[in-house]
Amino acid sequence: MLSITYWQLAKKWEKLVGMYISESEGANFWLSVKHGKKPTNGSYEYLIGPNSSEKSLTKLIKTNNITILSNTLEIQAIKCKSEKLTAAVFFKAGTLHTSKSSFIKTDDPCILLIKDSGEELVLTISDPTQKLQKTTISLSGKIHCKNLMSTYNAEKKESVLEIPFPQEKEKGSSTSFILSF
């Protein structure tokens, strides 16, 4: 059963979730799924499409444009073929196989997007815990970024990137880097 609650907010998010520090006003909602009294090993999939119509979301699903790469307690991830975009939430350190020969490995919880333009990758990453100073991720292949410390391990065929997270009032916000092949 799906439940939705709507309210008008004119106070600090910090009071609601204990981590945000900026003011936010406006319409908000809370969407939840009632799982029953004692669900065991259940799972489901859903798609959030801001500013999308039911028609456009249905088309997206029917054209098999989105592939679910992982739907576990540790990693939730998708690949959108038309956008050449991989989106992942790592609830803890782990490895996501994006194809037979490609992977993303993280040392910490993080949320990331990787957009492939064909000539370069745009990596956008954030620390949802708002506790980390930095993290390390590994990507398959030889990749470098002029703004990050990176090393290539030829034996493992992986690039290791050390990524600093925004601090102070920017904690939890995302940061982007252009990666070259």
Give the domain CATH number at 136.
2.60.220.10
Report residue 32 as tokens.
């939840």
176 closest CA partner among 130, 140, 139, 145 = 145
Whether 110 is in a domain gets the answer yes
What tens-digit pLDDT sequence spans the chain (181 residues)? 667 776 565 555 555 555 544 555 666 667 777 777 877 877 777 777 777 888 887 877 778 788 899 999 999 999 998 889 999 999 999 999 998 889 999 999 999 999 998 889 999 999 999 999 999 999 999 999 999 999 999 999 999 999 999 999 899 999 999 999 8
Residue 49 lies in a domain: no
Instruction: Give the rounded distance of the alpha carbon of 70 from its chain centre.
Output: 12
In a domain, 89, yes or no: yes
The DSSP element (H or E) to which 16 belongs, if any, is: helix 13-17
Task: Please indicate, yes or no, if residue 174 is contained in any of the structural domains.
Answer: yes
Q: How many domains does the chain have?
A: 1
Q: Which parts of the chain are beta strand (E)? A: 2-12, 23-33, 66-71, 75-80, 85-90, 94-97, 103-106, 110-116, 120-126, 134-140, 149-153, 158-164, 175-180
Residue 15 lies in a domain: no
**Residues spanned by the domain of 165:** 67-180
The pLDDT of residue 95: 97
Q: Is residue 100 part of a domain?
A: yes
Alpha-carbon gap, residue 38 to 157, rounded angstroms: 44
The rounded distance, in Å, linking the Cα atoms of 87 and 68 is 10
pLDDT for 113 equals 96
User: What confidence score (pLDDT) does residue 82 get?
Assistant: 85
